[in-house]
Amino acid sequence: MTYIGSSVKRVEDKRFITGQGRYTDDIVLPQMTYACMVRSPHAHAEIVSVDISHAEQMDGVVKIFTGKDTDAAGIGGVPCGWQVDFKNGDTMKEPPHPLLVSDKARHAGDAIAMVIAETYAQAKDAAEMVIVEYNVLPAVTNSKAARADGAPQVHADVPNNLAFDWELGNPREEVDAAIAGAHHVTTLEFINQRVICNAIEPRSAIGHFDTAYDKYTLYTSTQNPHLIRLLLCAFVLGLPEHKVRVVGPDVGGGFGSKIFHYTEEALVIWGSNQIKRPIKWTAERSESFVTDAAGRDHITTAKMAFDKDGNVLALSADTFANMGAYLSTFAPAVPTYLHGTLLQGLYTTPLINVSVDAVFTNTTAVDAYRGAGRPEATYLLERLMDTAALEMGRDPAELRLQNFIEPFDGVEQEGYVTQVALQYDSGNYAPVLKRGLEMVGYEQFRADQKAAEGTGKLLGIGFSTYIEACGIAPSAVVGALGARAGLFESAQVQVHPTGKVSVYSGSHSHGQGHETSFAQVVADKMGIPMEDVEIIHGDSDAVAFGMGTYGSRSLAVGGSAIVKSIEKVLEKGAKIAAHLLEASVEDLDYAEGKWTVRGTDKSVAFGDVSLTAYVPHNYPEGLEPGLDFSSFYDPANFTYPFGCHICIVEIDKESGVVKVKRFIAVDDVGNVINPMIVDGQIHGGLAQGIGQAFCEGAIYDESGQLVNGTYMDYVMPRADDLPSFEIDRTVTPCPHNPLGVKGAGEAGCIGATPAVVNAVMDALKGYGIHDVEMPVTSQKVWNIIHGS
């Protein structure tokens, strides 16, 4: 049986295609009430008064809580899970993020009151009747502007809105000196705009305090139930952890936005004990836009220096990273340890320095969005690379090939030590680019491009060769970098007496297909049919512990934990088998679901061993009954997937319309368990990466309003905006985890964005422009072509 490496159809599909998926908003509990939040319409405003007296009289209202109630209960707010200190060693500024604000609203959407009623319609009606008097203050939404003297202060005790500043790499003077003396320097000043994650399932949470057992249950659309429980219990509400169950049932996409611990989760849990009834809150889409943590939002100046032969000599990058109004759970790590550390890219750049100002503004919090920091790093490097090629009259593919790090497998050859604190695990970079060039038909494309000159169309090609750090993460390493959590994973493999297997994983699937790919691993490693394996995840009462799913970590870390438990099961199973076979363990082989005495036809099946483990009548002396093991796996290093993305665009000169004609992606994600699922992950990532390049982007007006905060106004790729993707892969196994896997969830989104913009720039190279701001809309392109 070889399930690993084959495109097994997903076992979880049936419930979704028949309408039986169970998402949080689908759950109805007896006596359940419904919450609607009263949110500030102003980005920055003192709260003068909150009058709930009219609202309380409305039909169906059960209870209304305001910031005074949460203040009186001594609830401090939701915490930040990652500490990055100032360059001078001072602790980062970490102002509280209250569940309900009582003094000041710091972004449009800040919650002021929670109205609870018998129905959602009644709660919404009553919320309209809560009268809040505001003293509106000037707002600031741009991170660079927020740093200026005299800018509005988001938090009174955070001067110049600086949460922290941070630096990494070689001494800045050395880098600057190398740049000053270089043959050629390419400089880009650009905005990596804010994008909204927009999982199609809006966030939802149900809090239930069960008075019979004094136990809380939180159903929530989360990517990591156990971390939410830990934060809720240890930091927000001070609840006993063993009296809190957190369930992340079916979750309709996450992309990062459902990693974090949100105020509403704590509110419904706390409120359910106050009113002794369950409370459901589900975001409306417009509410998601102003409360889900957003992604990207960097303002960057970057320089890449070359010698006369085109070798990269040095790189410097200075970034203003918008944190929003509060520090979200992992926010400080995103522009620092997930961004600055990736600026080596695939290149041998000997000198690198990166500096970041993390800035508070009157906007919704920014945190990890698919790729988290690594797309920003890739955009920075790959825009520089294509721009440099254009400026120096070099071919962009050749310039990359010339500067690639030489191959290393991490076994015979050491991992590559970067200038920015990482050691790559294994890599072989030229083949992905060469394969991409072959797939795109590079020479033919250049001929077609030339042939199109003088017609109404412009053709362009853009490259992006990226690396990412995934399989997050070695606990001791991230702990030293400020993480306030370990980033291991746990798994329990429970063999039932009949030989069927339940696997409890701390990873959380919200579209990734773990119920299939994890079962493939288990079935193969144990030599049993996949049908005999069930993967259970997402419920803290079922799964002992977990750190959830993000950072392309599930298979590399969660899968490795499963493999460890399987090894323990088979080790104990061998002892039982040896006893039954009256042989010694050393003389047994395990394959195809049975232990065989080497060189004989004597064997015992897995199911007989499992039954013996639970009916231990004829049993090895001193061995415990049962066949059930848990493991924790803490990775030795990050994993480092890489790849090459190539985009071809066609621009209609008359209208400025940019069409992505072809998109080629050659990714190396290490070993692959289920190619169909990996391809699907790449497809989805590409769509999001391409979306940022040509249509997505949050737009704030001067008063701090998100003016495109609905699906009517925020443009996301639809089916007819995208081509079918052309994808392939190379395989460079990860040398440090048992499956040799690297992770595939974020790759598409990390590599794609600069490929699209580079393609547009290639198409427009005759128009004397140096850069174009994302999203590259038809209007911007039309203005360039028509010179206005």
Partner 1 sequence: MKVPVSITVNGKQYDKMVEPRMLLVYFIREELALTGTHIGCDTSSCGSCTIHLDGKALKSCTMLAVQANGKSVTTIEGMANGEELHPLQEGFHMEHGLQCGFCTPGMIMCAADILKNNPTPTEEEIRHGLEGNFCRCTGYHNIVKSIQYAAKKMA
Distance of closest approach, residue 2 Cβ to partner 1, in angstroms: 20
Query: Least separation, in Å, of the C-beta of 209 and partner 1?
Result: 23
C-beta of 640: minimal distance to partner 1 in Å?
Answer: 24
Nearer to partner 1, 88 or 724 (CB): 724
What are the beta bridge partners of residue 134?
A: 47
Strand order in the sheet with 295-306: 162-169, 351-360, 312-324, 295-306, 184-195
CA dihedral 738, 740, 742, 748 (to 10 degrees): -140
Residue 357 vs 679, nearer CB to partner 1: 679
Of 355 and 708, nearer to partner 1 (C-beta) is: 708
Q: Which is nearer to partner 1, 25 or 425 (CB)?
A: 25
How far is Cα 760 from Cα 694, in angstroms, rounded to an integer?
10
What is the C-alpha separation between 717 and 727, in angstroms, rounded? 19
Residue 513 CA to residue 523 CA, distance in Å, equals 15
- Choice between 370 and 435, CB closer to partner 1: 370
- In the complex, least distance from residue 23 CB atom to partner 1, rounded to whole angstroms: 7
Q: Beta strands 351-360 and 162-169: pairing type? A: antiparallel
Q: What is the Cα–Cα distance from 749 to 368, expressed in whole angstroms?
A: 12
CB of 711 to partner 1, least distance (A): 3
Give min distance, CB of 722 to partner 1, in A. 6
Single-letter residue type at 778: S
* Pairing of β 533-537 and β 279-282: unpaired
Q: How far is the CB of 320 from partner 1 (least distance, A)?
A: 28
| Positions in the binding site for partner 1 (CB under 8 A) | 9-10, 12-23, 25-26, 28, 121, 198-202, 250-253, 255, 284-286, 510-513, 676-677, 679-681, 683-688, 710-712, 716-720, 722, 724-725, 748
Q: How far is the CB of 10 from partner 1 (least distance, A)?
A: 7
CB of 222: closest distance to partner 1 in angstroms?
A: 13
Residues 490 and 507: their CA atoms lie apart, in Å, by 8
Nearest approach, Cβ of 126 to partner 1 (angstroms)?
Answer: 15
Say if residues 200 and 258 touch (Cβ distance below 8 Å): no
DSSP assignment of 93-126 equals P---B-SS-SSEE-STT-EEEEEEESSHHHHHHH
- Which lies closer to partner 1 via its Cβ, residue 173 or residue 720? 720
- Indicate the residue among 341 and 512 with the shorter CB distance to partner 1: 512
Give the sheet arrangement for strand 279-282, strand by strand. 61-66, 111-117, 33-39, 279-282, 204-210, 215-220, 244-247
CA distance 660 to 653: 15
CA distance 122 to 142: 37
Q: Return all residues near 319 (Cβ < 8 A) that are at least 6 apart.
A: 298, 299, 300, 335, 339, 354, 355, 356, 357, 376
Structure tokens that stand for 470 in this block: 């995934």
Phi, psi of 34 (to 5 degrees): -130, 140
Q: Which is nearer to partner 1, 200 or 212 (CB)?
A: 200
Identify residue 695 by its one-letter amino acid code: C
Least distance to partner 1, CB of residue 305, Å: 36
At its nearest, how many Å lie between partner 1 and the CB of residue 725? 5
Query: CB-based contacts of 591: which residues, under 8 Å, 6+ apart?
Result: 527
Residue 164 or 466: the one with the smaller Cβ distance to partner 1 is: 466
Query: Per the structure block, which two tokens stand in for 240?
Result: 């006993």
Complete edge-to-edge strand list for the sheet that includes strand 489-495: 533-537, 501-505, 489-495, 628-633
Nearest to 386 by CA among 421, 345, 419: 345
Q: Report the residue number, 260 or 416, with the smaller CB distance to partner 1.
A: 260
Q: Minimum distance from CB of 199 to partner 1 (Å)?
A: 6
Cα Rg for the chain, rounded, in angstroms?
27
Q: What are phi and psi of 297, to 5 degrees?
A: 70, 60
Toward partner 1, which CB reaches closer, 520 or 688? 688
Instruction: Output 70 or 291, the one with its CB closest to partner 1.
Output: 291
CA within 13 Å, CB half, 770? 5
Q: How far is the CB of 723 from partner 1 (least distance, A)?
A: 9
Q: How far is the CB of 201 from partner 1 (least distance, A)?
A: 4
Residue 13 CB, nearest distance to partner 1 (Å)?
4
Q: If you ran DSSP here, which 8-state letter would residue 324 be given?
A: E
Q: 651 and 449 in contact (C-beta within 8 Å)? A: no
User: 250 or 746, CB closer to partner 1?
Assistant: 250
- What are the φ and ψ backbone dihedral angles of 249, each rounded to 5 degrees? -75, -150
Nearer Cβ to partner 1, position 21 or 96?
21
Pairing of strands 658-668, 726-729: parallel
Looking at beta carbons only, is 267 or 677 nearer to partner 1? 677
In whole angstroms, give the CA distance from residue 543 to residue 417: 37
Helices within 695-777 (DSSP H only) = 747-763
E strand map for 196-258: 204-210, 215-220, 244-247
Q: How far apart are CA 682 and CA 747, in angstroms?
A: 6
Q: Judged by CB, which is closer to partner 1: 517, or 596?
A: 517
Distance in angstroms (rounded) separating the CA atoms of residues 258 and 265: 11
Q: Which is nearer to partner 1, 223 or 300 (CB)?
A: 223
Cα(568)–Cα(563) distance, integer angstroms: 9
As a residue count, the chain comes to 788
Q: How far is the CB of 22 from partner 1 (least distance, A)?
A: 8
- From CA 597, how far away is CA 416, in angstroms rounded? 44
Tokens 């990775």 appear where? 635
Shortest Å, Cβ 17 to partner 1: 4
What span, in angstroms and rounded, lies between the C-alpha atoms of 744 and 553?
A: 9
Could you identify the residue written with the tokens 């929670």?
114
Name the residue nearer to partner 1 (CB basis): 335 or 538.
Answer: 538
